[in-house]
A = this chain, B = another copy of it.
Amino acid sequence: MTNHEQSDRGTQSQMLEIAIEEARQGLSEGGIPIGAAIFDRHGNLLGRGHNRRIQENDPSIHGETDAFRRAGRQRTYRDKIMVTTLAPCWYCSGLVRQFGIPTVIVGESTNFRGGIDWLRENGVEVIDLNSAECIKLLADYIRANPAVWNEDIGVE
Protein backbone atom coordinates (compact mmCIF):
# COMPACT_ATOMS: atom_id res chain seq x y z
CA MET A 1 0.00 0.00 0.00
CA THR A 2 1.44 3.39 -0.93
CA ASN A 3 0.92 6.53 1.09
CA HIS A 4 -1.63 7.55 -1.50
CA GLU A 5 -3.55 4.33 -1.04
CA GLN A 6 -3.35 4.57 2.74
CA SER A 7 -5.19 7.84 2.62
CA ASP A 8 -7.85 6.41 0.34
CA ARG A 9 -11.25 6.42 1.98
CA GLY A 10 -12.30 3.20 0.26
CA THR A 11 -9.36 1.29 1.69
CA GLN A 12 -9.98 2.77 5.11
CA SER A 13 -13.62 1.73 4.95
CA GLN A 14 -12.61 -1.81 4.02
CA MET A 15 -10.35 -1.95 7.06
CA LEU A 16 -13.12 -0.53 9.24
CA GLU A 17 -15.43 -3.23 7.93
CA ILE A 18 -13.29 -5.85 9.70
CA ALA A 19 -13.62 -3.94 12.98
CA ILE A 20 -17.39 -3.69 12.46
CA GLU A 21 -17.60 -7.45 11.89
CA GLU A 22 -15.83 -7.89 15.21
CA ALA A 23 -18.22 -5.49 16.95
CA ARG A 24 -21.19 -7.43 15.57
CA GLN A 25 -19.61 -10.70 16.66
CA GLY A 26 -19.26 -9.25 20.16
CA LEU A 27 -22.90 -8.20 20.17
CA SER A 28 -23.98 -11.68 19.05
CA GLU A 29 -22.08 -13.06 22.07
CA GLY A 30 -24.00 -10.76 24.38
CA GLY A 31 -21.09 -8.32 24.68
CA ILE A 32 -20.44 -4.64 24.10
CA PRO A 33 -20.29 -4.04 20.33
CA ILE A 34 -16.86 -2.49 19.86
CA GLY A 35 -14.36 -4.06 17.49
CA ALA A 36 -10.85 -3.36 16.29
CA ALA A 37 -8.14 -4.64 13.97
CA ILE A 38 -4.45 -4.03 13.36
CA PHE A 39 -3.01 -3.92 9.86
CA ASP A 40 0.48 -3.36 8.55
CA ARG A 41 1.07 -0.54 6.08
CA HIS A 42 0.60 -2.94 3.18
CA GLY A 43 -2.94 -3.60 4.34
CA ASN A 44 -2.25 -7.06 5.72
CA LEU A 45 -4.43 -7.98 8.69
CA LEU A 46 -2.31 -8.88 11.73
CA GLY A 47 -4.91 -9.15 14.47
CA ARG A 48 -8.62 -8.54 15.01
CA GLY A 49 -10.70 -8.55 18.15
CA HIS A 50 -13.55 -7.13 20.17
CA ASN A 51 -14.55 -6.05 23.63
CA ARG A 52 -14.90 -9.10 25.90
CA ARG A 53 -15.82 -7.53 29.26
CA ILE A 54 -19.05 -9.50 29.51
CA GLN A 55 -17.97 -12.68 27.75
CA GLU A 56 -14.78 -13.24 29.76
CA ASN A 57 -15.54 -11.19 32.87
CA ASP A 58 -12.37 -9.29 31.95
CA PRO A 59 -12.39 -5.49 32.12
CA SER A 60 -9.02 -5.22 30.35
CA ILE A 61 -10.18 -6.53 27.00
CA HIS A 62 -11.30 -3.50 25.09
CA GLY A 63 -11.44 -4.07 21.35
CA GLU A 64 -8.07 -2.44 20.67
CA THR A 65 -6.32 -4.49 23.34
CA ASP A 66 -7.91 -7.67 22.00
CA ALA A 67 -6.68 -6.94 18.45
CA PHE A 68 -3.25 -5.93 19.77
CA ARG A 69 -2.79 -9.11 21.78
CA ARG A 70 -4.02 -11.34 18.99
CA ALA A 71 -1.44 -9.78 16.65
CA GLY A 72 1.21 -11.24 18.98
CA ARG A 73 4.66 -9.78 19.48
CA GLN A 74 5.74 -7.47 16.68
CA ARG A 75 9.22 -6.19 15.98
CA THR A 76 7.85 -2.69 15.46
CA TYR A 77 4.56 -0.82 15.45
CA ARG A 78 5.83 2.16 13.45
CA ASP A 79 4.35 0.66 10.28
CA LYS A 80 1.04 -0.45 11.79
CA ILE A 81 -2.48 0.93 11.59
CA MET A 82 -5.01 0.51 14.41
CA VAL A 83 -8.62 0.48 13.23
CA THR A 84 -11.42 0.61 15.75
CA THR A 85 -15.17 1.18 15.61
CA LEU A 86 -14.97 3.74 18.44
CA ALA A 87 -12.48 6.41 19.46
CA PRO A 88 -10.06 4.74 21.90
CA CYS A 89 -10.37 5.38 25.64
CA TRP A 90 -7.38 6.58 27.69
CA TYR A 91 -6.26 3.01 28.23
CA CYS A 92 -6.23 2.16 24.53
CA SER A 93 -4.94 5.61 23.58
CA GLY A 94 -2.04 4.92 25.93
CA LEU A 95 -1.48 1.64 24.10
CA VAL A 96 -1.23 3.49 20.79
CA ARG A 97 1.19 6.05 22.20
CA GLN A 98 3.40 3.62 24.14
CA PHE A 99 3.95 1.35 21.18
CA GLY A 100 4.27 4.15 18.65
CA ILE A 101 1.41 3.20 16.35
CA PRO A 102 1.39 6.17 13.96
CA THR A 103 -2.12 5.91 12.50
CA VAL A 104 -5.50 5.24 14.08
CA ILE A 105 -8.69 4.95 12.05
CA VAL A 106 -11.83 5.32 14.15
CA GLY A 107 -15.35 4.52 13.03
CA GLU A 108 -16.75 7.29 15.16
CA SER A 109 -16.13 9.62 18.08
CA THR A 110 -19.73 10.68 18.68
CA ASN A 111 -20.70 8.22 21.40
CA PHE A 112 -17.31 8.62 23.09
CA ARG A 113 -14.40 10.87 22.24
CA GLY A 114 -11.73 9.12 24.32
CA GLY A 115 -8.14 10.30 23.92
CA ILE A 116 -8.09 11.24 20.24
CA ASP A 117 -7.23 14.90 20.82
CA TRP A 118 -4.33 13.84 23.05
CA LEU A 119 -3.15 11.38 20.42
CA ARG A 120 -3.21 14.09 17.77
CA GLU A 121 -1.29 16.45 20.07
CA ASN A 122 1.31 13.73 20.36
CA GLY A 123 1.75 13.24 16.63
CA VAL A 124 -0.61 10.35 15.96
CA GLU A 125 -2.67 10.62 12.78
CA VAL A 126 -6.30 9.99 13.77
CA ILE A 127 -8.72 9.51 10.88
CA ASP A 128 -12.37 9.68 11.93
CA LEU A 129 -14.64 8.03 9.35
CA ASN A 130 -17.78 9.23 11.15
CA SER A 131 -19.58 5.99 10.30
CA ALA A 132 -23.35 6.13 10.79
CA GLU A 133 -23.31 2.34 11.15
CA CYS A 134 -20.79 2.48 14.00
CA ILE A 135 -22.63 5.30 15.73
CA LYS A 136 -25.96 3.47 15.63
CA LEU A 137 -24.54 0.10 16.63
CA LEU A 138 -23.08 1.44 19.86
CA ALA A 139 -25.78 4.05 20.57
CA ASP A 140 -28.44 1.33 20.48
CA TYR A 141 -26.38 -0.77 22.87
CA ILE A 142 -25.75 2.09 25.28
CA ARG A 143 -29.45 2.97 25.32
CA ALA A 144 -30.36 -0.61 26.24
CA ASN A 145 -27.41 -1.22 28.61
CA PRO A 146 -26.34 2.06 30.19
CA ALA A 147 -24.87 0.44 33.33
CA VAL A 148 -22.61 -1.91 31.37
CA TRP A 149 -21.44 0.94 29.16
CA ASN A 150 -20.62 3.15 32.14
CA GLU A 151 -18.74 0.30 33.74
CA ASP A 152 -16.70 -0.18 30.57
CA ILE A 153 -15.47 3.42 30.62
CA GLY A 154 -15.13 3.72 34.39
CA VAL A 155 -18.05 6.10 34.89
CA GLU A 156 -20.23 5.75 37.97
- Chain A residues proximal to chain B, CB less than 8 Å: 53, 57-61, 65, 68-69, 72-78, 89-95, 97-100, 115, 151, 153-154, 156
Contact = CB atoms under 8 A, between A and B. Distances in A.
Nearest to A94: B94
23 contacts: A57-B72, A57-B73, A58-B69, A58-B72, A59-B69, A59-B73, A60-B60, A60-B65, A65-B65, A73-B151, A89-B98, A90-B94, A90-B95, A90-B97, A90-B98, A91-B91, A91-B97, A91-B98, A91-B99, A93-B94, A98-B153, A98-B154, A100-B154
Find the residue from A53, A68, A98 having the highest chain B CB count within 10 A.
Answer: A98
Contacts of A95: 60, 90-91, 94
Contacts of A78: 156
Contacts of A60: 60, 65, 68-69, 95
Lowest 3 CB-CB distances: which A-B pairs, in order? A94-B94, A99-B154, A90-B94
Contacts of A57: 72-73
Find the residue from A75, A77, A90, A100 having the highest chain B CB count within 10 A.
Answer: A90
Given A89-B98, A91-B99, 8 more contacts: A60-B68, A60-B69, A61-B69, A89-B94, A91-B94, A94-B94, A99-B154, A100-B154
Contacts of A97: 90-91
Contacts of A153: 98
Nearest to A72: B57
